[in-house]
Amino acid sequence: MTKIAVFASGSGSNFQAIAECIERGELNAKIELVVTDKPGAFVVTRAQKFNIPVLELTPKTFDSKAAYEQAVIKALREKDVEWIILAGYMRLISDTLLAAFPNRIINIHPSLLPSFPGKDAISQAFEHGVKVTGVTVHYVDAGMDTGPIIAQAAVEVAGTLDETEKLIHATEHQLYTKTLQQLFAQK
């Protein structure tokens, strides 16, 4: 069984999809820790329902980004975490964390990268008038959504932004867990 930590900054819907797949036996992993940079984020409530420990840290209370990431690494090592799974974590990962988990940090992004990297990707795609957008699972590097692509799924843009967001999120929940299971089976 692969020991993972899920990093999230907001509601945690991708965290919940992963946790539910684990409960159903569809993903051979154990979430050892949820890490959030936004104390009180809804992902904390979701994690508590699954009895998963949460590390809530406020980055600006640390002297540097490296110091913040060192505190995170310490907690991850205490739990023997093997992989970091970003699920709506809205911070760039620096060399400190990248060096501690080389090729073991995965992200999901709501577009067909390299199109529409960064924040508000669904809105960007919708405003650009594209007919097809999608979801990308990729390794994390020091850039913003620039790491090597592992898997992608196309999603047709719906009539409204809200409908498109719902389609994207449903696709994320399926693609992420399926891709993680394939990655963990290779280790």
Residue 138 has pLDDT above 80, yes or no: yes
Structure-block tokens of residue 37: 């940079």
What does the pLDDT look like over 144-158, one tens digit per residue?
999 999 999 999 998
Q: Is 63 exposed, middle or buried (0-12, 13-18, 19+ CB in 10 A)?
A: exposed
Q: Which residues pair with 86 in a beta bridge?
A: 7, 107
The upper half-sphere exposure of residue 9, i.e. CA atoms within 13 Å in the direction of its Cβ, equals 11
**Average pLDDT over all residues of the chain:** 95
| Percentage of the chain exceeding pLDDT 70 | 99
pTM: 0.94
Confidence band of 186 (pLDDT split at 50, 70, 90)? confident
Confidence band of 80 (pLDDT split at 50, 70, 90)? very high
Residue 102 has pLDDT above 80, yes or no: yes
State which H helix or E strand residue 8 sits in: none
DSSP state of 79: T
Please list the active-site residues: 109
- Domain extents for the chain? 2-186
How many other CB atoms sit within 10 Å of the CB of residue 53?
A: 14
Q: What's domain 2-186's superfamily in CATH?
A: Formyl transferase, N-terminal domain (3.40.50.170)
Residue 187 has pLDDT above 70, yes or no: no
CA pair distance 100, 2, nearest whole angstrom: 17
